[in-house]
Amino acid sequence: MLKNIITLSAVAAMATSVMANTDMESRIDNLEKQVLKLEKKLKKSNKKLNEVKAHDANDNIKFDIEFRNTVESIEYKDNKTGDTASNDSLLTSRLFLNMGSAPTENILFKGKLAIYSIWGAHLIHEDKGTKDWSGSSKPSDSIMRIKEAYVVYNTEVGEQPLTFSVGRRPASNGFLANYRENEETSGSPLAHITNMEVNGAMVQFDFDRFVEGSYTKLVLGRAHSGEMEGAYGTSGINPFADKDTLEEDENVDFLVVPGVAYSNGQYTAMYEWAHIFNTKGKNLDTNKTSVAAGTADLFSLGLKVEGIGDEISDFLDETTVFASVGYSSYNADDGYALLSKDNGDSKTGSSLWLGAIMPDGITDSGKFGIEYNQGSKYWTPMTWAEDTNIGSKIAVRGQAYEAYWNTNLFGQKNLTSQVRYTHIQHDYTPNINCAGWVASEPVDITASSLRLAITYKY
């Protein structure tokens, strides 16, 4: 009897265990189904979230700022007359508000608003007008101006990539000038002959499939609009119509062709040719200046080497050297003069620009830079966006020497600083504002600047 009871108990226990196992397996199956459902819902939610993020990213304009404050000591001396002038504390602030948007993969908008002011200066210069493409590049008042604003469209025609753009180009602090401005990237053109904001339309042809990193741009734009009738003013009923005057104040247009001949990340060779229509000069019959007097052609070729040799040392790997040559030719029409007092003359100029940027050996990311410029009597590039407050050292007709130290202040990458010293020796009339009607004559003038700049970027 006892044996039967034990046997029945064992059978019952086994049955209960089987039933429990069956119930557990059923629960596990249900849990697995619920997990699968949750995973599907999570994927759908992530997909929708990504779509929302992508939509918001495309719909929004991205902003960043660059805020620079400087204190500068400047000095001038005419070594022939002994006359001197100086300012021991020129204080300036410059604010860039950068913006960009990309609603599609093919369309891009970039813009930059700028305020470049002198501490305590008048709000508006009343003694002279300011060109729309120079107002944001020289310290003056605290008015916000458009420095850059352009839209870009990318496409392909067959195997040929094409880029179209229109607006105010990123044409200041271009190739090679960005180092002395303590900027990681450069603007579009070669700063040796073009360092000013320009308004124009551009088409770019990429040839990277033939030569590594190569491309060519064609930029057609306008630097000056001739005199026009007033917009329903006291004298005009034809708003914005060209006005035929004795001053011959015609439009000044230009064609610029910048490009990269080769770039592999270490070696970069760039070139640029620029042609100016109706460049400004002097009418010898009326003695009027700033009138359409002829044409100008400028050319530059630059080479930059980022890293000397191939892993010779850390110092050489982080050293950059560059060299650039420039050429300018101003051709006056009959009855007019450009850069001299001669009738219908042609004057050519040349320039050399050398530089080296190397680790400072003091900080983790600091760099020392040295540069040398030399220009001939008639060297005249387009430099309205002056690269120094004592005049353009790139446009010097003589020699210019410069040294600077770029570093992250307190080790903060968002807070950079620069100490820069520039010395310029003018052997001929200083090249100010591309004034083609000012004859270049021998002088002996020196100018120097010692500047401390602190910049916040975010």
- What is the C-alpha separation between 316 and 314, in angstroms, rounded? 6
Between strands 442-457 and 62-78, the pairing is antiparallel
Put residue 206 in one of left, alpha, beta given phi > 0 → left and psi -120 to 50 → alpha: beta
- The pLDDT assigned to 45 comes to 65
Residue 385: which residues within 8 A CB-CB, separation 6 or more? 133, 134, 137, 138, 171, 172, 173, 195, 196, 197
Question: What's the count of helices (H) and strands (E) in the chain, helices before strands?
Answer: 2, 17
Average pLDDT over residues 127-143: 69
Predicted confidence (pLDDT) per residue in 147-169, tens digit: 999 999 999 998 899 999 999 99
- The pLDDT assigned to 34 comes to 76
Predicted confidence (pLDDT) per residue in 326-367, tens digit: 999 999 999 999 999 888 889 999 999 999 999 999 998 899
Which H, E and C letters describe 87-144, residue by residue? EEEEEEEEEEEEEEECCCCCEEEEEEEEEEEECCCCCCCCCCCCCCCCCCCCCECCCC
Q: Please say if the pLDDT value at position 28 is more than 60.
A: yes
Residue 177: which residues within 8 A CB-CB, separation 6 or more? 186, 187, 191, 195, 387, 394
Q: Please say if the pLDDT value at position 209 is more than 80.
A: yes
Continuous segment of H or E residues that includes residue 453: strand 442-457
Average pLDDT over residues 295-307: 96
Q: Please say if the pLDDT value at position 419 is more than 70.
A: yes
- The pLDDT assigned to 236 comes to 55
- What is the C-alpha separation between 395 and 397, in angstroms, rounded? 7
- What is the C-alpha separation between 404 and 371, in angstroms, rounded? 9
Structure tokens given for 223: 């630097």
Reported as a pLDDT band with limits 50, 70 and 90, residue 15 is very low
Burial of 223 (0-12, 13-18, 19+ CB in 10 A): buried
Reported as a pLDDT band with limits 50, 70 and 90, residue 176 is very high
Which H, E and C letters describe 228-240, residue by residue? ECCCCCCCCCCCC
In DSSP terms, 273 is beta-bridged to 257, 299
pLDDT exceeding 70 applies to what percent of the chain?
A: 83
- What is the C-alpha separation between 110 and 442, in angstroms, rounded? 44
Give 310's DSSP letter.
Answer: S
Predicted confidence (pLDDT) per residue in 370-391, tens digit: 999 999 999 999 987 778 999 8
Q: What are the backbone dihedrals phi and psi of residue 50, each rounded to the nearest 5 degrees, phi first?
A: -65, -40
pLDDT exceeding 90 applies to what percent of the chain?
A: 58
Q: Please say if the pLDDT value at position 203 is more than 90.
A: yes
Between the alpha carbon of residue 259 and those of residues 142, 158, 412, the distances in Å are 35, 22, 35
Q: Which amino acid makes up residue 144? A: M
- What is the C-alpha separation between 239 and 4, in angstroms, rounded? 119
- What is the C-alpha separation between 325 and 376, in angstroms, rounded? 12
Q: What are the backbone dihedrals phi and psi of residue 24, each rounded to the nearest 5 degrees, phi first?
A: -65, -45
- The pLDDT assigned to 89 comes to 93
Q: Indicate whether this model's pTM tops 0.85.
A: no
Average pLDDT over residues 233-243: 62
State the average pLDDT for the chain.
86
